[in-house]
Amino acid sequence: EAQVTQNPRYLITVTGKKLTVTCSQNMNHEYMSWYRQDPGLGLRQIYYSMNVEVTDKGDVPEGYKVSRKEKRNFPLILESPSPNQTSLYFCASSPLTGGYEQFFGPGTRLTVL
């Protein structure tokens, strides 16, 4: 089944404890992206990647890191999480550039205490 997977789906952590949210797609898509979604603010892009080893900042990159060492994987790293990073996070992928239809993972609900 063609899909985007994320892990974990739910995470409660404490301020300053490094964490990684994994994202993987099995559709051989070139483009991958991370979004966060907050009430009243909608979906906001954190980082995106056009291809392996090519990443760039989105609208809200502060406090996040990403890497793209393999085409299928695009992990999101929070090196020192803070409570304002409590949010619902989505990974998405697209077959070509990001301007085409994007397919979303199931989401990761993160709470930072």
Using CB under 8 A, list all residues that contact another protein. 31, 33, 40-43, 45, 48, 50, 56, 58, 88, 90, 94, 96-107, 109
Q: Give the Cα separation of 5 and 62 in Å (integer).
A: 24
CB of 91 closer than 8 Å to CB of 33? yes
Instruction: Write down the least CB distance from residue 16 to another protein, Å.
Output: 27
Q: In this complex, which beta carbon is closest to another protein, that of residue 48 or of residue 85?
A: 48
Instruction: Write down the least CB distance from residue 79 to another protein, Å.
Output: 23
1: Cα within 13 Å, side-chain hemisphere: 4
Instruction: Write down the least CB distance from residue 25 to another protein, Å.
Output: 13
Q: In this complex, which beta carbon is closest to another protein, that of residue 13 or of residue 104?
A: 104
Q: In this complex, which beta carbon is closest to another protein, that of residue 12 or of residue 14?
A: 12
> Which residues make Cβ contacts (< 8 Å) with residue 71, sequence separation at least 6?
28, 29, 30, 51, 52
Instruction: Write down the least CB distance from residue 80 to another protein, Å.
Output: 26
Q: In this complex, which beta carbon is closest to another protein, that of residue 56 or of residue 70?
A: 56
Quick one: DSSP state of residue 84? G
What does the block give as tokens for 56?
């760039």
Residue 83 identity (one-letter amino acid): P
